[in-house]
Amino acid sequence: MSSAALCPVTTFSARPTKPAGDAVSAPGTVTLTSDSVIDQNFTNQRNLTVCGSGCGYNRIQDAIDAASPGETIEVHSGTYEEHVEVNKQLTLRGVVTGDGLPVVDAGGSVSAITISADGCTVEGFEARNSGNAWPCAGIHVTSNGNIISGNTAIGNNWDGISLKISNNNTISDNNLKNNGASGIYLEDSNNNAIENNTATGNGHNGIKLGYSKNNRLSGDIANYNKQMGIYLFNSNGNNIRRNDAYRNNNRGIRVETSSANTLENNEATENGKNGIELVSSSGNVIRGNTANENDKDPEWGAEYGIYLDSFSSGNTIENNTASRNWDGIRLQSSSNNNIVKYNIVTSNIMSGIRLEISSDSNKIEGNDASHNGNGIFIHNSISNKIELNYANDNNGDGISLLSSSSCTISDNSAIGNKYASASNHLAATPSTSTNSTTPIMPGRTAPTI
């Protein structure tokens, strides 16, 4: 709906008056206009009240229909079995007057609350029992510039909160629990702030972005979800910072066919599969994250702290900690031209850092890959540069190359390992070594996974 339709030009007629003394003239007409719903400064605003009985309204939608743009509707505790559409710029506020937040129950169809007007605030509600297919949700947003804060979306049959072609919203301090699909889902939605939400026990993902750009996820908790904690699909330029994605049944954070995202200072621990996973994704920065103990569910097979797969190239993996996984950091399947530097990858079962299946031309620099099964293991991958790493006190090899050629290994520390400090298993084109401790020497063949 256009801003003109929501807020038409208002005309006030002012009659000249003649007080005692000198006459005062005034114009006959004053015209006030505004081009933006969000920017208007409404006057003579009312607070409308909704409650079970004894208030102005007992249905939320009736109060919305009666309200003027810019007004506030306060909804008292109780259960309201209706489908609410906020179709003008309003503040819809839940007020606890009895047993908990006011509840909007969708009765198993469509969405409990839909926000279709720009510049709305919806806060302090429980939204539940939506329909069971997209775009049904506890709270569904199709407009821009809204604030959705302090709500609980629980027991919806699809998403808790969903955005569709919806930009510049703030989604904060909401509790998304036990919804059928995702706790929060953005589709074709850009420049949103998703902050300090808790998404737990949802049937698919905690937070999912699909075809969405330049969003900010910060301070969110995404745990105990049946698939991913945080999932980016075909979504570019997003900032994922200081979130906790732990104990999800599948991955902690998954980035698929997405580029130019920054994942920084997140916790991705104790997940059923990988802590942080990139698939067919390039040009991302993975920095300062903790991805520990992602080996909790044997039915998935091997699990990795940070995992790049299927042509994930040109990424920077730096200053992360990945310990007590199967592999700390693993690059696989033509994941090329990545920079892996200054990471702490210790106490992993198989390898601190592992390159597999034509992962070529990567730079492995300045990492601490000690106290693992193997420190750094390169298999079927060529032209990688391995320098200035610590690969000490591992139960297998310090640095091991198997069927890998044209690699440069220089200025690494590889001492105190059980088998060889560094080993080169007869690659077709010999790799070169100028390590400061022990040169490449025959060693024990590292096991393959």
Q: Are residues 227 and 323 in the same domain?
A: no
pLDDT in tens, 246-257: 999 999 999 999
For position 301, what pLDDT does the model report?
A: 60
Given a contact cutoff of 8 angstroms between Cβ atoms, the answer to whether 296 and 290 are in contact is no
* DSSP bridge partners of 74: 49, 93
- CATH assignment at residue 390: 2.160.20.10
Cβ partners under 8 Å of residue 419, min gap 6: 396, 397, 443, 444
For residues 276 and 58, what is the distance between their CA atoms, to the nearest angstrom? 48
For position 435, what pLDDT does the model report?
A: 57
Cβ partners under 8 Å of residue 96, min gap 6: 77, 102, 124
Note whether residue 205 is domain-resident: yes
Q: Which conformational region is residue 20 in: left (phi greater than 0), alpha (psi within -120 to 50 degrees), or beta?
A: beta
Phi, psi of 126 (to 5 degrees): -105, 125
Asked which of 183, 212, 244 is the last residue of a domain, the reply is: 244
Q: Are residues 367 and 441 in the same domain?
A: yes
DSSP code for 356:
E
Q: Are residues 412 and 295 in the same domain?
A: yes
For position 170, what pLDDT does the model report?
A: 98
Q: Are residues 433 and 387 in the same domain?
A: yes
In which domain, by residue range, is 115 found? 47-244
The token duo for 146 is 């809204």
Question: Which residues of the chain are under the pLDDT cut of 50?
Answer: 1-38, 298-300, 425-429, 436-449
Asked which of 209, 244, 279 is the last residue of a domain, the reply is: 244
For position 46, what pLDDT does the model report?
A: 85
pLDDT in tens, 35-53: 444 455 555 678 999 999 9
Given a contact cutoff of 8 angstroms between Cβ atoms, the answer to whether 308 and 282 are in contact is no
For position 291, what pLDDT does the model report?
A: 98
Q: Are residues 228 and 290 in the same domain?
A: no
Q: Are residues 136 and 168 in the same domain?
A: yes
The reported pTM is 0.86
Cβ partners under 8 Å of residue 5, min gap 6: none
Handedness of CA 362, 404, 309, 313 (dihedral sign): positive
Phi, psi of 74 (to 5 degrees): -105, 130
Q: Are residues 295 and 237 in the same domain?
A: no
Q: Are residues 240 and 269 in the same domain?
A: no
* DSSP bridge partners of 378: 355, 401
Looking at residue 232, its amino acid is L
Output helix, strand, coil percentages for the chain, rounded to the nearest 5: 5, 35, 60
Closest CA relative to residue 352, chosen from 314, 396, 410: 396
Name the pairing type of β-strands 221-223 and 399-402: unpaired
Closest CA relative to residue 94, chosen from 112, 111, 73, 110: 73
Asked which of 179, 210, 244 is the last residue of a domain, the reply is: 244
Note whether residue 211 is domain-resident: yes
Closest CA relative to residue 166, chosen from 114, 205, 218: 114
DSSP code for 368:
B
